[in-house]
């Protein structure tokens, strides 16, 4: 239950029909239902009330629990049957919710559009622009009157306001999309007992009185009291404590705690804001200054560009002033002014304000604010793309922070293999099991009893039990449909031993209801079980003592199974005398067992796993199999999946190690050998954690997969922790950065691609925006120095800022990953964002744009044969904007020479280009007064397009030159 990430969000429940309807008709229906249930349910209680229940668990009130009559009496007072739970009818749920509260906590509301508008306004350059625009508007109106005088200042003011609104709306839309993703992340199901049956409901629909079923790895969804269970151990806020049956002071379960072992049913006594966890989470204040690591790097770049922009802006302002007083230039209205001309105070103020606005606008253009928007957009796009592939990103910061992963530590089950298994071989004694008629009745009964009870316990303890499901299915089909569930029901459970770290090994003590005999059943790894056995059953029911020859024969059969890639499981049994009855606190006997059966199970590879491993190896990403299986099984499966070849095994010493061997290495030896490891067999969760730490010390960027509670430490330690499958424990999910619902290694490789896609998209936009910034700064600086004027007006600069910063981000930050991304060699975390190839693309395009604008600025009228300088200025603006649009295609492909490759698949890119073209035509042809432009004829449009299109061959030439140079 994702309580740590605002699971109790203040939103309407998802499964109670009509709960948040507000129409008069539905309200009347709900009120009538409530009235009927108030009479029948009787929740106005005299011996228990809400405050008592709220503090009961939060303050560990053992005395209060005794005073209220214990768990069963409280359950009776809440009209809850501890065996059958509450009724699932709408009316009862509504009454309980109204009486005791809902399972939400109140969190801070998201930032409104008005708030984001205020944030957009809270920038000094924007404030200075607004003030200057207002002054310019006032000066213009005072000189030319309202009809004509508003154009200069008014158009600037409108442009600034439009830019601010677009920025605020873009951030608001991004925030809303992230909220929708968060809501998807928090759609958590909890198992409860209602109407006598177990059912899954939303965590938000839990009410006081519910009976919740917990198992290893679950997170407690609400404050509650222990009803029943075995070996329940919880981790409450980092402190392990054991919940013992029948002791009131150890009957309290606090919401937010993790179940690290055992299983239980609990009675919910407080939900939402009435819980200790709800109080903690609602009072938590998020730090608005927390940044994603890549965002911090982009902010440093933006800070550098801001300083450069400030310097250039100051130089431009000074140059414009100097040229205004000492040389030929234009005034604010575009009229020529010559040296020695008289200037009125009004014209002087108007000119200074105009120069100041231009300088401030240069600062605005020079700051690549679109980078952060592009980053957030591409991360959001990647998260949504992965969600379409049943992959949920829980921690976007960790996801975007790391460089190219160099190592993936994965397991066999749940990642390389599916959780579906099949029994391939089965033995009782020295004979294969083919049908039940060949088995003596007593052996058959013990066999079915052991399978039934261990499966029942595995399903209670763990979310997924592929071994038990496979054996159960095989038994039903092979042994003519034995009634497995009836067998389990005829047994009374006394003691259980099972560890989340080793799901294969389960020990149970049961008592038969018919004859009260007590039996021990063990199911686990064949080698371990065999070493604990002193006898074995024959098919005919006789029990034979193990001699050395027999034990060697059984070991050989186990080795033959494992050599074939089978996981070998053993079932063992032991009778216990009545007077030797085992208590709940005693350890289950593991000596002098009688071997009942050996079974070889085959795991099935996920489709595409072998190709995914090949893709990783081609990209230089090492895949390490970390498994509990023995060396023989691990090696066989690694060969099957292409993870290891005979050549690699021979050439690379230490390619296969065991957990014991790795533990014996000191740090220096481990650092030396870790680069060669391909398989770590017979390993435990601490071995997995150790190899991750050593890899990170060796500057590897590590991805770790896992699905167990014991994997939590490794998942947290990794650069990216990936919880595999919907059957992953909640503790594993909470410790991970990404949850892959299908539990497929192919999806892990897809995660790597999406991660690279984020980095690639940011580089694309960075190259695109920096090209525009460099060209704009140089063009305006040179023009101010030479001509005493800038070629683009403030409105045109604002439009360019919008085209590049917002529309450009939308176009370039939404590219999907390609298979080519995996062909790059792995990088490191601190690698520069701007590669040498990007510098080549950037400088070549910027120099071309500078040259084009300068030629048009000083020789455009003569070269193009234009009679009007206004038309020439418009062509400069139009050409410069079109150059950015053509360069967008170049930026879309950082390395490929064919910039149109796969462009038909990116509908967003094509749509943004189309919108930009339409808006640019409108700026030139229809918004003449606003944009200070002049209409162009078809020939002039053709010239602008032709000049801008030269960007493509320049980009092709740079990429070609880079590809052939050593």
Cα–Cα distance, 881 to 921 (Å, whole number): 11
DSSP 286-332: --TT---HHHHHHHHHHHHHHHHHHHHHHHHHHHHHHHHHHS-EE-T
CA 87 to chain centre: 36
Cα–Cα distance, 264 to 227 (Å, whole number): 7
Q: Measuring CA to CA, how many Å separate 692 from each of 110, 626, 717, 732, 829?
A: 38, 11, 7, 16, 17
Q: Measuring CA to CA, how many Å separate 962 from each of 375, 767, 835, 849, 895?
A: 27, 16, 12, 21, 9
Task: Report pLDDT digits (tens) over 896-946.
Answer: 888 888 888 888 999 999 999 999 999 999 888 888 889 999 999 999 999
- DSSP-derived secondary structure letter, 586: S
Give the residue carrying structure tokens 């590049």: 804
The sign of the dihedral angle between the CA atoms of 705, 709, 711, 716 is: positive
Task: Report pLDDT digits (tens) over 801-858.
Answer: 888 888 888 899 888 887 777 765 544 444 677 888 899 999 999 999 999 999 999 8
User: Which residues of the chain register pLDDT less than 50?
Assistant: 1-35, 39, 43-46, 238, 245-249, 285-289, 331-334, 337-340, 826-830
Q: Which two tokens stand for residue 899?
A: 């910039």
- DSSP H helical ranges for 327-369: 345-366
Q: What is the reported pLDDT for 416?
A: 78
SS (H, E, C) 479-522: CCCCCHHHHHHCEEEEEEEEECCEEEEEEEEEEECCCCCEEEEE
Q: Is 437 exposed, middle or buried (CB count within 10 Å of its CB: 0-12, 13-18, 19+)?
A: exposed
Closest CA to 460 of 510, 521, 503: 503
The DSSP H or E segment spanning 232 is: strand 223-236
Q: How many residues can be counted in the chain?
A: 966
The partner residues of 224 in beta bridges, in order of sequence, read 253, 268
Cα–Cα distance, 939 to 426 (Å, whole number): 84
Q: Where do the DSSP E strands lie in 120-220?
A: 189-194, 197-202, 211-214
Q: In 3-state terms, the chain is what percent helix, strand and coil (to 5)?
A: 55, 15, 30
Q: What is the reported pLDDT for 634?
A: 85
Q: What is the reported pLDDT for 13?
A: 34
- DSSP-derived secondary structure letter, 589: P
Cα–Cα distance, 361 to 579 (Å, whole number): 92
DSSP 602-645: EEEEPTTHHHHHHHHHHTT-EEEEE-SS-HHHHHHHHHHHTS--
Q: What is the reported pLDDT for 6?
A: 36
The DSSP H or E segment spanning 840 is: helix 836-864
User: Residue 29: CB partners within 8 Å, gap ≥ 6?
Assistant: 18
Q: Measuring CA to CA, how many Å separate 386 from each of 393, 725, 757, 816?
A: 8, 14, 12, 10
Q: What is the reported pLDDT for 950?
A: 95
- DSSP-derived secondary structure letter, 248: G
Strands 258-270 and 491-499: unpaired
Q: What is the reported pLDDT for 286?
A: 47
Q: What is the reported pLDDT for 143?
A: 66
Q: Measuring CA to CA, how many Å separate 421 from each of 77, 417, 467, 562?
A: 46, 9, 7, 15
Q: Measuring CA to CA, how many Å separate 658 from each of 194, 558, 625?
A: 47, 19, 11
Cα–Cα distance, 727 to 414 (Å, whole number): 9
pTM: 0.77
Closest CA to 631 of 678, 680, 564: 680
Cα–Cα distance, 860 to 276 (Å, whole number): 74
Q: What is the reported pLDDT for 46?
A: 44
Q: What is the reported pLDDT for 392?
A: 82
């Amino acid at each position: 239950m994702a309580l740590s990430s605002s699971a109790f969000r203040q939103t309407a429940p998802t499964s109670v029909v009509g709960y948040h309807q507000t129409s008069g008709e539905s309200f009347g229906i709900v009120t009538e239902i409530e009235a009927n249930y108030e009479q029948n349910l009787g929740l106005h209680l005299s011996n228990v009330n809400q405050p008592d229940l709220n503090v009961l668990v939060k303050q560990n009130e053992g005395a209060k629990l005794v005073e209220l009559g214990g768990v069963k009496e409280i359950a009776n007072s809440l009209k809850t049957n501890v065996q059958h739970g509450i009724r699932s009818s709408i009316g009862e749920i509504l009454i309980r919710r109204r009486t005791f509260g809902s399972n939400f906590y109140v969190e801070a509301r998201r930032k409104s559009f008005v708030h984001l508008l205020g944030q957009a306004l809270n920038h000094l350059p924007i404030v200075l622009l607004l003030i200057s625009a207002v002054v310019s508007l006032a000066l213009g109106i005072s000189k030319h009157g309202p009809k004509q005088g508003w154009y200069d200042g008014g158009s600037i003011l409108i442009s600034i306001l439009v830019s601010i609104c677009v920025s605020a709306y873009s951030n608001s839309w991004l925030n809303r999309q992230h909220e929708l993703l968060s809501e998807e992340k928090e759609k958590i199901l909890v198992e409860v007992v209602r109407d006598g049956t177990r059912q899954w409901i939303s965590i938000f629909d839990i009410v006081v009185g519910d009976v919740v079923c917990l198992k290893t790895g679950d997170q407690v969804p609400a404050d509650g009291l222990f009803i029943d269970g075995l070996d329940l151990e919880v981790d409450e806020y980092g402190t392990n404590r054991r919940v013992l049956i029948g002791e009131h002071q150890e009957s309290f379960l606090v919401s937010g705690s993790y179940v690290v072992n055992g299983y239980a049913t609990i009675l919910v006594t407080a939900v939402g804001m009435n819980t200790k966890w709800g109080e903690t989470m609602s009072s938590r204040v998020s730090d608005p200054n927390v940044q994603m690591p890549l965002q911090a790097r982009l902010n440093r770049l933006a800070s550098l560009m801001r300083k450069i922009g400030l310097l250039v802006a100051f130089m431009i302002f000074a140059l414009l002033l100097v040229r205004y007083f000492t040389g030929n230039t234009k005034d604010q209205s575009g009229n020529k002014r010559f040296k020695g001309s008289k200037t009125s105070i009004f014209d002087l103020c108007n000119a200074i304000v105009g120069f100041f606005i231009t300088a401030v606008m240069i600062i605005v253009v020079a700051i690549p604010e679109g980078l952060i928007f592009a980053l957030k957009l591409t991360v959001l796009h990647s998260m949504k793309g992965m969600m379409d592939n049943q992959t949920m990103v829980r921690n976007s910061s960790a996801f975007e922070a790391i460089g190219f992963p160099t190592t993936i530590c994965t397991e066999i089950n749940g990642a390389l293999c599916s959780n579906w298994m099949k029994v391939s071989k089965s033995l009782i004694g020295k004979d294969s099991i083919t049908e039940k008629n060949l088995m003596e009745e007593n052996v058959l009964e013990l066999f079915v009893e052991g399978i039934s009870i261990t499966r029942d316990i595995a399903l209670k303890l763990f979310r997924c039990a592929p071994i038990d499901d496979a054996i159960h299915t095989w038994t039903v089909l092979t042994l003519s449909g034995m009634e497995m569930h009836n067998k389990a029901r005829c047994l009374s459970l006394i003691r259980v031993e099972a560890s989340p770290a080793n799901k294969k090994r389960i020990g149970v003590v049961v008592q038969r209801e018919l004859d009260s005999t007590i039996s021990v059943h063990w199911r686990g790894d064949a080698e371990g079980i065999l070493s604990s056995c002193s006898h074995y059953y024959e098919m005919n029911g006789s029990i034979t003592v193990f001699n050395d020859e027999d034990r060697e024969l059984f070991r050989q059969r186990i080795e033959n199974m494992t050599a074939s890639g089978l996981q070998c499981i053993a079932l063992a049994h032991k009778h216990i005398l009545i007077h030797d009855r085992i208590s709940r606190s005693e350890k289950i006997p593991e000596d002098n067992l009688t071997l009942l059966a050996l079974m070889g199970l085959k795991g099935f590879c996920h489709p595409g796993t072998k190709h995914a491993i090949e893709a990783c190896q081609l990209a230089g990403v090492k895949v390490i199999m970390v498994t509990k299986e023995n060396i023989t099984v691990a090696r066989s499966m690694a060969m099957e999946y292409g993870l290891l070849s005979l050549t690699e095994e021979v050439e690379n010493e230490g390619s296969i190690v065991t957990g014991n061997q790795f533990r014996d290495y000191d740090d220096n030896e481990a650092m030396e050998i870790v680069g060669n490891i391909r398989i770590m067999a017979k390993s435990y969760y601490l071995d997995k954690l150790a190899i991750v730490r050593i890899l990170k010390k060796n500057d590897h960027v590590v991805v770790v997969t896992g699905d167990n509670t014991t994997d939590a430490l490794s998942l947290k330690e990794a650069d990216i922790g990936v919880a595999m499958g919907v059957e992953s424990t909640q503790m594993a999910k909470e410790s991970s950065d990404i949850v892959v619902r299908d539990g497929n290694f192919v999806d892990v490789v897809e995660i790597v691609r999406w991660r690279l896609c984020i980095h690639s998209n940011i580089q694309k936009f960075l190259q695109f925006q920096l090209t525009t910034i460099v060209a704009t700064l140089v063009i305006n600086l040179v023009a101010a120095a030479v001509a005493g004027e800038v070629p683009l007006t403030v409105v045109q600069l604002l439009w360019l800022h919008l085209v590049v910063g917002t529309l450009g981000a939308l176009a370039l930050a939404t590219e999907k990953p390609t298979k080519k991304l995996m062909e790059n060699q792995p990088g490191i975390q601190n690698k520069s964002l701007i590669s040498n190839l990007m510098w080549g693309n950037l400088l070549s395009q910027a120099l071309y744009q500078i040259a084009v604008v300068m030629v048009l600025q000083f020789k455009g009228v003569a070269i193009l044969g234009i009679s009007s300088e206004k038309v020439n200025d418009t062509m400069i603006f139009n050409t410069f904007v079109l150059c950015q649009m053509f360069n967008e295609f170049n930026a879309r492909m950082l390395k490929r020479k064919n910039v149109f490759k796969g462009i038909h698949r990116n509908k967003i890119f094509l749509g943004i280009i189309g919108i930009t073209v339409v808006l640019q035509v409108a700026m030139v042809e229809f918004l003449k007064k606003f944009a200070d432009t002049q209409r162009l004829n078809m020939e002039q449009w053709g010239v602008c397009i032709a000049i801008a299109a030269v960007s493509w061959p320049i980009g092709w030439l740079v990429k070609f030159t880079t590809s052939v140079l050593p």
